[in-house]
Amino acid sequence: MSHFSKKEKIIENSGTERGKRSNQFKSRLYSEPRWDPSWKNFRDMEWETFSKLEVAEKIPLFTKNNRLYDCLFAQQFDRELLDRLCRVADKLREITKTSAGDRFVTNLLFDKRAILVFNQPSSRTFLSFQNACHILGMKTSEIRDVSTSSFAKGESPLDSIRTFASYVHLMIMRMKEDGFVEQSAWHLNSKTNRPVPIINAGSGTDQHPTQALLDIYTMTRLLDGGIDGKNIVMVGDLKRGRTVRSLSYLMKNYSDVKITYVSPEEFRVGLDILEFLRKHRINYTETYDFESAIRDADVIYMTRIQDEYDKNGESKKVDYSKYYFKPEHLKIIKPTCIIMHPLPRRDEIDPKVDFDERAVFWRQERNGMWIRAALISYIFNIDHKIMVYKVGV
């Protein structure tokens, strides 16, 4: 049993090599707390209560040192941050064109590790996040089939998340269960002493905030004059399409935007989104008339039917063919319009359309890697190093 108090023990040992090392370790721990002081307000709040709060009331638990920590909702982004991330993504592209720049960027997070936990299929989001980590020098591990983890032995989902998080500095999650990514971040930040940032890479029918980020980045790069004042036409299964939901939330950051939602009756956009748009005075209309809607569009954002969320095969009963973009539509849209799609596509866009320069969805998916790298650099507070790097010096 020790006869010294903790403080005395530190003083007593401070002269020895072991003591010095121990003190260095302690000061590292104390100078870089893993939690934000404001999070203590949530320590005693259970998930049932927390989950019912307004998003604005939840955001403090996902913010550290006044910076985005967990990226869970599109509502966490303001215009300043969106513009900054777009600039960081552009700079990353520029820097990594030279081998000196590439080496510089690969050293930025060489001492950090990330895990990708996906229980829903993914090509682009998984690979673009994995490669975004690698661009910054992070090592990655992955769980793509939870039945191969100890979850299958009856471990609770939150214990599994705590275990995955315990080996890494960042967790990137795609989950089919609505709200589970958020619940994981709530759990790590308020109920454990070793939180790591979590990025939502797609959460059930809720949100896909980083898809919305790459959509914004694509529009910012390709629309003359940027997004302000533009007419954005979103088409398809707007009820269950999480990309449309997140993108609609981000529109509050742009002025004089008009959104036109085009969908079959069965898949109209959620009332919560419409209420949000009214609250933020964003101009929107809903229509079933695809051809009329696309004539004045600056952006046509096509989406696929989300039949993985069907309960009784309801998608098969809907005539979706009126919501397909065909080569003849290229003649009626504006010469400056861009055609986007979060992908994967089925029949919503005829592949013959791909050759038109207004079809930008292949560029859009590549933009995802750069904006995700920018986001990770922001979360780890190294984005300023990217911005001040002088190319060619």
Give the footprint of ligand CP on this chain (CB under 6 A).
122-126, 202, 211, 342-344
C-beta of 11: minimal distance to ligand CP in Å?
54
Three-class SS state of 149: coil
Report the residue number, 229 or 351, with the smaller CB distance to ligand CP.
351
Q: How far is the CB of 269 from ligand CP (least distance, A)?
A: 18
Least distance between ligand CP and beta carbon 218 (Å)? 12
- CB of 293 or CB of 343, closer to ligand CP: 343
Q: In this complex, which beta carbon is closest to ligand CP, that of residue 211 or of residue 315?
A: 211
Least Å distance between CB 46 and ligand CP?
31
Nearest to 292 by CA among 320, 333, 326: 333
Of the pair 263, 364, the CB lying nearest ligand CP is at: 364
Closest CA to 294 of 305, 303, 302: 302
Shortest distance in whole angstroms from residue 7 CB to ligand CP: 51
292 within 8 A of 299, measured Cβ to Cβ: no
Q: Report the alpha-carbon distance of residue 126 to residue 132 in Å, rounded.
A: 10
* Residue 23 CB, nearest approach to ligand CP (Å): 46
Least distance in Å: CB of 115 to ligand CP? 17
Complex with ligand CP: residue 101 or 209, whichever CB lies closer: 209
Residues 343-376: b if buried by 16+ CB within 10 A, e if exposed: bebeebbeeebeeeebbbbeebbebbbbbbbbbb
DSSP characters for 44-60? T--HHHHTTS-HHHHGG
Least CB distance to ligand CP at residue 332 (A): 27
Give the H/E segment covering residue 87.
helix 79-95
Of 58, 23, 331, 391, residue with least CA distance to 207: 58
Residue whose CB is nearest to ligand CP in the complex, by number: 125
> 139-143 and 170-175 as β-strands: parallel, antiparallel, unpaired?
unpaired
Q: In what order do the strands lie in the sheet with 170-175?
A: 139-143, 113-118, 170-175, 198-203
Residue 83: Cβ within 10 Å count: 14
Closest residue by Cα to residue 210 from 236, 233, 181, 234: 181
Task: Select 184 or 243, whichever has its Cβ closest to ligand CP.
Answer: 243
Minimum CB distance to ligand CP smaller for 126 or for 370: 126
Distance set, CA 139 to CA 105, 170, 265 (Å): 14, 10, 46
